[in-house]
Amino acid sequence: MKMKFKIALSIFFLFTTFCCVYSANENERRIDSLVQINKNIDEFKLLDSLSWQYRYTNIELAVAIANRLQKKIEAVKIDSSLIEYLVNISSIYRQNNEFGKAMRLLDFATIHAHRTNNLKLLWRIYNNKGNAYRNNNDLINALKTYFIGLKIAEYLKNEGAMASIYNNIGSIYFSTNRYKESLTFFLKAYKIYTNNSASNSFHIAAIADNIGMVYNELKQYDKALAFHLQAKKGFEKTEDLGAKSTNLTSISNVLINKKLFDEALVYIDKAIELSGNSNSISFVLANNTKSIILYELGRFKEAEELSKINIRYYDSINSTFGLHELYYDLTKNYIKQRNVDNALKYLSLYRHLNDSINSSEFKAELSTIEAKYAAEKKEQQIALLEKDKKNKQLIIYSTSGGLVLVFVLALIIFRSYREKRKSNITLVQQNNIIQSKNKDITDSINYAQRIQLAMQPSRKLIQEYFPNSFVFYQPKDIVSGDFFWFTKQENHIFIAAVDCTGHGVPGALMSMIGINFLNQLVIENKQTDTSVILNRLHNHVKNALRSNNEDEKRDSNDGMDIALVRIDPLNNKVQFSGAVRPFYYFENNILKSVKGDKYSIGGIKDETTPYTSHSFSFNSIQSFYIFSDGYADQFGGKANKKFMLKTFQELLISVQHKTVKEQEEEIKKSFNQWKGTNEQIDDILVIGVNLNP
């Protein structure tokens, strides 16, 4: 039987737990004692060291120590060294399945690291974020986050960091059955560790164990066994009993596939002995493997009990990870025991959780199981019918009555069909009229699109003045409520991203108003101050929409949101004014932002509150980004939620070291991947300008 339970080891991701039960007071007293004994050591360093020391032997005490360290950090002014402690604390919380607490600390650390441009810390933060997502079964976000960390590690040329993240990415691919991709990343990590004489033997053993598991899935059992035995030797010096236990479980899995069940049983009993108690994941893995061995040896009741113990474990931590394989094993077990009802029950549970598995091997095994169920269920029904002739007779009568009813219904349906056929002729005629009108409307909108595009500046014109720039413009419909605007007047270069109320035809009409007034104010009236331009644009749009007409009083925000930037290279100035839309820029590789004023152009803003302008030194800005709200508001992803500005900021940070062309491609790719099969909900506009030559 093929072992399908898969958890790839990770050198910074092992989470074996041997939980000793202490009360809160006992933990506090023990921590006090440890601090007192080591009072000559800085307490921050001591608590950090102790929390890591106990995380594999007493997770409850490790969490208590981490809690105390976090409280001490929160009571003082936080610096870079303390931020590193918070990252370590997050690993303790993650290991204890407190994913929310772990992620809050990592989010805080991310902000601090970006502000201080601490790239050495950033790769660790993103690596830990990926681990937290992965522990919480969010593999998509885990993989995305690992790749962000990998880009930073590659930029730093930190081979140790790269190897760690290669390993974690390989583990994600392994968990999703993409074994060739998994092997590629594991071998990259293995090459780094084995070529570095300073590498820790534990790290080499961990990655060798991972490679062994991939070869086992690829049915190259001799290679798998060779790597696992190499890992076993490497783990001899470690205190990590969980790693040793998981390694022995992996060896046992290979022996199962080689049909050496007695030898496999010897290894798995040793793995269970090392794993500690039922609160450790290594114990759960070993337990499941032993249930498979017992099944193969015909000890079905014992195998059943072990599988149920594992199910109770996953229920206790509210996790579905691995449950489908347990349901699969129990289904086959109950078939062997001829317990059809339980077999059907666990088959149903298995199929519910296993929709994403499409391998031909699984489908073939599932078809075989279903055929056996059908045969067993039929035999059971026949036996019941023979015992009760009255029930059999009732079924015959019911069937006859049903046939009569079907015949009557068939007559009714036939008569309805004739009536519908007559109606369909009329519907076809009406449909032809509708299609003709729709074509006329579509042709008109396509013509409107040509007019709208003609009024917008060409991207080539923008790139004449800013060669390192891009415009990602993707309307929801044929015409758009978003538009970009650009002009050069004497020494001033203006560029704007504008988001009009609505999209489609209403938005496009509003965009015509906006383009016309911007041209009038800047090109004809020679206005140069961005705040003055927005204030006058606001008044023009209000008048155009009759907002001040007492007979047509409006309380809406109909109009447009805008981010307007003026660049003056001769005087070393950049000026920004915004109505709702913000201005993002990078200074010293740190992402900064300026919010726009809270009122839309043409909306309900009073006459006495002007729009404000913000000035910057041209040389201090590396690059800037202006955009509409369509990108951040798009629904998608695993949970079908909005992309959000926070994720958009992380995306900009992750692509900052790329060329603008690569940035544009990455931003487009991320949007389309996030949207998936969902409908685009709004127009998309993102403008990026790199001011460096």
Residue 616: pLDDT above 90?
Answer: yes
pLDDT, average across residues 113-130: 85
Query: pLDDT class for 241, splitting at 50, 70, 90?
Result: confident
Residue 81 belongs to a domain: no
Residue 633: pLDDT above 50?
Answer: yes
Strands 635-636 and 583-587: unpaired
Q: What gap in Å lies between CA 659 and CA 623, rounded to an integer?
A: 11
Based on the domain organization, do 638 and 575 belong to the same domain?
A: yes
Return the exposure string of 580-618: e unless at least 16 CB atoms fall within 10 Å of the residue's CB, then b: bbebbbbeeeebeebebbebbbbbebeeeeebebbebee
Count of domains in the chain? 2
Spatial strand order in the sheet of 492-500 = 482-489, 492-500, 560-568, 573-579, 614-617
Residue 49: pLDDT above 80?
Answer: no
Residue 542 belongs to a domain: yes
Pick the last residue of a domain from 415, 433, 455. 455
Residue 356, pLDDT score: 46
Residue 305, pLDDT score: 87
Based on the domain organization, do 450 and 463 belong to the same domain?
A: no
Q: Is 652 left (phi over 0), alpha (psi -120 to 50) or beta?
A: alpha
Give 296's contacts (C-beta < 8 A, 6+ positions apart).
1, 256, 261
Residue 313 belongs to a domain: no
Residue 549 belongs to a domain: yes
Q: Which domain holds residue 408?
A: 399-455
pLDDT, average across residues 506-521: 84
Residue 423, pLDDT score: 59
Q: What gap in Å lies between CA 305 and CA 664, rounded to an integer?
A: 55
From the list 458, 448, 459, the residue with the least C-alpha distance to 481 is 448
Based on the domain organization, do 428 and 503 belong to the same domain?
A: no
pLDDT digits (tens, 9 = 90+) for 262-316: 999 999 999 888 876 555 677 888 888 888 899 888 898 988 888 888 788 777 6
Based on the domain organization, do 560 and 418 belong to the same domain?
A: no
In CATH, what number is assigned to the domain containing residue 466? 3.60.40.10
Residue 602, pLDDT score: 84
Based on the domain organization, do 605 and 625 belong to the same domain?
A: yes
Based on the domain organization, do 491 and 636 belong to the same domain?
A: yes
Q: What gap in Å lies between CA 448 and CA 159, rounded to an integer?
A: 55
Residue 529 belongs to a domain: yes
Cα Rg, the chain, nearest whole Å:
33
Residue 16, pLDDT score: 30
pLDDT digits (tens, 9 = 90+) for 62-85: 778 777 877 777 777 666 677 777
Residue 89: pLDDT above 60?
Answer: yes
Based on the domain organization, do 435 and 470 belong to the same domain?
A: no
Based on the domain organization, do 420 and 519 belong to the same domain?
A: no
Q: What gap in Å lies between CA 292 and CA 278, rounded to an integer?
A: 18
**111, 74 in Cβ contact below 8 A?**
no
Based on the domain organization, do 609 and 508 belong to the same domain?
A: yes
pLDDT digits (tens, 9 = 90+) for 168-201: 999 888 887 888 889 999 999 999 988 887 777 8
Pick the last residue of a domain from 440, 455, 470. 455
**253, 234 in Cβ contact below 8 A?**
no
Residue 643, pLDDT score: 93
Based on the domain organization, do 482 and 428 belong to the same domain?
A: no
Largest CA distance in the chain: 101
Residue 487, pLDDT score: 93
For the chain, the first-to-last Cα distance in angstroms comes to 62
Give the per-residue SS3 of 505-527.
HHHHHHHHHHHHHHHHHHHHCCC
Based on the domain organization, do 506 and 603 belong to the same domain?
A: yes
Based on the domain organization, do 585 and 672 belong to the same domain?
A: yes
From the list 374, 313, 382, 321, the residue with the least C-alpha distance to 347 is 374
What pTM did the predictor assign?
Answer: 0.47
**223, 253 in Cβ contact below 8 A?**
no
Q: What gap in Å lies between CA 382 and CA 11, rounded to an integer?
A: 57
Residue 242, pLDDT score: 80
What's 41's DSSP letter? Answer: S
pLDDT, average across residues 348-364: 55
Residue 413 belongs to a domain: yes
Residue 220 belongs to a domain: no
pLDDT, average across residues 399-410: 54
Q: Which of 38-47, 395-404, 488-497 has the highest mean pLDDT?
A: 488-497
Residue with tokens 């331009």: 533
Pick the last residue of a domain from 438, 455, 472. 455
Residue 608: pLDDT above 90?
Answer: no
Residue 103 belongs to a domain: no
Q: What gap in Å lies between CA 454 and CA 396, rounded to an integer?
A: 76
Q: What gap in Å lies between CA 657 and CA 660, rounded to an integer?
A: 9
461 three-class SS: helix
